[in-house]
Structure 1
Amino acid sequence: MVDTSPLKLAKELLAILDRDAGRLDRIDRFTRGKHDDPYMPPHADDEYKLLAERAVSNWMPLLIGTPAQALYVDGFRPGTSSEGLPEASFSKSPAWSHWQRSRMDARQAAVYRGALGFGHSFVLTEKTKKGVTSKGLSAKKTAALYEDPANDDEPYAALTITAWPKGETPGRARMFDSTYEYAVTFKSINDLDSVKVAGTKQRHGNTECPVTRFAAQVDLEGRTVGVVEPMIPLQNRINQTVFDALVAQTYTSHEVRYATGMAPPLLREWLDENGNVTTDPELAVDSRPKLGPDGNPMPAAIHHNARRFLFAEDPDVKFGSLPSGPISPLIDAVDMSIRHLAAISQTPPHHLLGQIANLSAEALLAAETALSRKIAEFRSLFGEAWERVFRLAAELEGETGAADDFTGEVQWRDMESRSLAQAADALGKLKEQLGIPARGLWKRVPGVTQTEYEDWEQMAEEDDSIGQLANALTRATPSADSVQTARELAAA
């Protein structure tokens, strides 16, 4: 029989965090610009190391931010009730109030960025003193267990670390199963013998684990992959090429002047009458070449610039210069590597290269097609996760109908760059040519929010009621012509 005790689950979840710690730390380093050092000679000096630091060109935040900035939930379309009727406006329901209470309009971006960076992130839905709220959880501190990690939406257990161990103070974590919440302490995530689960437990209020996974990509083995990890080899290649270009720029991008047949001037030191070294010129009676640590005479530094003239007394001295080395091939190599990065990550090249001049609208649309498909995939995956969050919040609020609503859909804001005039023209054609009701097109107005949409509905209903009242009064009030006709008939 499989051991599913709280202590066993806590150890298994902490072991997952320990197993993934190295991989997630590496992804985190690359996201923050702490990349692997480019190849350098074994005895590289400080100048080489400085060039290596300056060679880091961190493209990872752009790979995360480009799709994340196109993901913004600003509404929810509820499904139907058990009677087959549309549910009431979701923005007026307790579940949507939980969204506003959680300040998810601003905080949802961190959930997407975490999922796109590490491959997955989590959201915890719980009842607090302020009411039902949800908050994002980092993949570096949270783990979940699934019976089928590739297909299950709800985990049967999850753990999130709230405090790391510090000195003699043990770390703390919260663990959830389908019914209860447990307090967990540990000295280290790789010291499973130190794991302890408090004897007391409390109900969290849901009928399933309240932690929801947001996965950027899940394969049939249950593995999650973000946009950073596959790009690390390309990022290292770009850094190496930039480093080589900086080295070439520093050492070979300018002419090197040389002189042959002439010994460089030597540094000299003064000697007093006793043969000791002195720095006082008045005591000096002789001089000798200054010796370096290796015992050889030290040459003096030659200061040369465009205002100085080179000359030598010996007629056998020859002056010359070495031509500068080209760095254009290295610049082309950087450009090629960035194009490879754009192609593999499905990021439009002009987002990375900044080359947007002389591009037609059709060319820009074609360049954005791959990114649009990628964003559509993320919206599908994250949308299902948000729908579960809404169901969990509705259950905590006591809304049994909304808690079982599996037909609702998340409303994603249209982030495409279109002018209002273009959108109005397109929506007008849809209404006139296809006969789509005007109200059915309100949602497609660029930038419209759920609150604005419902305000429009309320104003439209008020206008309809006023219009109906005016028509009724018009029918009930006789006109002047009808009164005159009635008088004429009575006189006859």
Structure 2
Amino acid sequence: MADTSPASLAKELLAILDRDEGRLQRIDDYIHGKHDDPYMPPQADDEYKLLAKRAISNWMPLLIGTPAQALYVDGYRPGKAASGLPEASSSTSTQWSHWQRSRMDARQAAVYRGALGFGHSFVLTEKTKKGVTSKGLSAKRTAALYEDPANDETPYAALTIVTKPKVDSPGKARMWDGKNEYAVTYKSLSDLDSVRVGGAKRHGASECPVTRFAASVDLEGRTIGVIEPMIALQNRINQTIFDLLVAQTYTSHEVRYATGMAPPMQMEMLDENGNVVTDPALAVDSRPKLDAAGNPVPAQINHNARRFLFAEDPDVKFGSLPAGPIGSLIDSVDMSIRHLAAISQTPPHHLLGQIANLSAEALLAAETALSRKIAEFRSLFGEAWERVFRLAAELEGETGAADDFTGEVQWRDMESRSLAQAADALGKLADQLGIPKRGLWKRVPGVTQTEYEDWEQMAEEDDSIGQLATALTRATPETTSVPATPDAEVIAA
């Protein structure tokens, strides 16, 4: 039987962080532009090394940012709780109040970028002095254990590093299991004998309060992001750009040459005693100037397009070497970037910037693969957010909402289309298909959950006023007015 004591769990979680440290650090380096150097000769000089440094062209942040910028949770619609309570208002629900308290409108982006970059990130939901809040945890500092890592959404235990060890103090970490939280200290990730686990305290939830956000999980439970598979392609692009810079520096310009001619030397003047002088009046002789090694120093030649080269010796020949073509290297860079776009499902015009003369249909076709990719991320991250909302409700004491598996995360529509196009499409859906107009309000571009609920409230108020006016009209008796005539006046008299 496996040892599930807190000390054993802490050691296993720290061992996972130690095992994955090198891999995650390499991914982090590539995200921040610290790439492997392109190949160069072992005897490369400083100029070669400078070109290699300038050849680094970091495309990795774009591969993360493109899908991450389309992921934005704009609301949460609670379902009918297990206790049979009616559906709650989205903006006033306990779950959404916890979201706003946690400032997740801004902080959610870091959770997505971490998951897309490293393959997974985590969110911790806990009680604080300000109430129930959630915060993101980095994959480089956090590890989780699952009984079935491919299918379980609830970890058996999780640990995150708070402070790393120093020379005079051990590292500190926090660990959670299904009931308790523990304080953990350690001297290094590889020194498992130094791990110490403090006393347990209840965290208030019925399961581990850490939720994993995975960009992709296979049936072995392995997670992979968008960066690691692209490292080889990134290295290829860097190498091609390095070759382009070398060719551009050394062969892209026409080289002029002269043969059969020695360069002029710098001369220095000597007096009658053989000493070097600078006054021509004292000079009686001259000799070539020597460097520290005793070699003659060539004179600098001021040559430009306005000067001619000439020599007295008829055997001297002047000529030029043509510039080498670099068009093939430019095409190779373009091809490598297109490969990167195809494999990463990123539209080529996002990477190359070539959007001229593209029709709306062509742009839509280019965005199709990215839209499918974003839809997959929304389904994966949406399930994770729903667990976070259930944990928040449970920690707030709402047992019914804690068992609510019918709640739904609402993602903001980030497609770029004009309001006039959306209004025309929504109008056709209402008129031709008979879809209720209120059911289409949420599909208005840019509408938030709060705005939607304000519209509902205003519509209900307008309906109430209209119903009241109708009721008053029906309750008021109709009066028939008789026009005044002279005969009527006589009869009345």
TM-score normalised by the shorter chain: which range applies?
over 0.9
Which of 282-291 and 319-328 deviates more? 282-291
Matched-pair contact (CA < 8 Å) for 2:271–2:277: no
Residue-pair matches, total: 483
Change (3 A) 1:318 1:437: same
Q: Structure 1 length as normaliser, TM-score? A: 0.94
Distance 1:260 1:266 in 2: 17
Quote the offset at 1:413 in angstroms. 0.5
Quote the offset at 1:111 in angstroms. 0.4
Distance 2:286 2:186 in 1: 73
1:296-307 alignment, distance < 5 Å = 296-307=295-306
Quote the offset at 1:107 in angstroms. 0.6
1:24-423 alignment, distance < 5 Å = 24-82=24-82, 86-198=86-198, 200-268=199-267, 278=276, 286-292=285-291, 296-423=295-422
Distance 1:185 1:269 in 2: 75
Matched-pair contact (CA < 8 Å) for 2:266–2:298: yes
Distance 1:320 1:78 in 2: 82
Structure 1 residue runs of 5 or longer lacking an equivalent are: 485-490
Distance 2:307 2:416 in 1: 58
Deviations 1:185-237 (A, max 9, x none): 11211221221112x22111101011100000011111111001101111111
Distance 1:482 1:78 in 2: 57
Per the alignment, residue 467 of structure 2 pairs with 468
Three-state SS of the structure 2 residue aligned to 1:225 is coil
RMSD: 2.0
Quote the offset at 1:81 in angstroms. 3.0
1:439 maps to a residue whose letter is R
Quote the offset at 1:300 in angstroms. 3.4
Quote the offset at 1:465 in angstroms. 1.4
Per the alignment, residue 487 of structure 1 pairs with none
1:173 maps to a residue whose letter is A
Distance 1:116 1:317 in 2: 65
Distance 2:328 2:4 in 1: 61
Which of 284-293 and 213-222 deviates more? 284-293
Which of 186-195 and 110-119 deviates more? 186-195
Q: Percent identity?
A: 84
Matched-pair contact (CA < 8 Å) for 2:73–2:411: yes
Distance 1:268 1:210 in 2: 83
2:411 maps to a residue whose letter is W
1:428-443 alignment, distance < 5 Å = 428-443=427-442
Deviations 1:383-419 (A, max 9, x none): 0000000000000001111100111111000000111
Which of 304-313 and 320-329 deviates more? 304-313
Which of 38-47 and 98-107 deviates more? 38-47
Three-state SS of the structure 1 residue aligned to 2:105 is helix
Distance 1:408 1:459 in 2: 25
Distance 1:248 1:335 in 2: 17
Structure 2 residue runs of 5 or longer lacking an equivalent are: 484-491
Quote the offset at 1:274 in angstroms. 6.5
Per the alignment, residue 444 of structure 2 pairs with 445
Matched-pair contact (CA < 8 Å) for 2:74–2:448: yes
Quote the offset at 1:296 in angstroms. 4.2
Matched-pair contact (CA < 8 Å) for 1:78–1:86: no
Deviations 1:418-448 (A, max 9, x none): 1111111111111111111111111111111
Change (3 A) 1:441 1:483: farther
Distance 1:242 1:79 in 2: 54
Quote the offset at 1:303 in angstroms. 3.4
Deviations 1:1-31 (A, max 9, x none): 2111111111111111111111111111111
Which of 2-11 and 262-271 deviates more? 262-271
1:123 maps to a residue whose letter is V
Distance 2:379 2:472 in 1: 51
Quote the offset at 1:304 in angstroms. 2.1
Change (3 A) 1:146 1:357: same
Distance 1:395 1:221 in 2: 31
Three-state SS of the structure 1 residue aligned to 2:410 is strand
Per the alignment, residue 488 of structure 1 pairs with none
Three-state SS of the structure 2 residue aligned to 1:481 is coil
Distance 2:206 2:443 in 1: 36
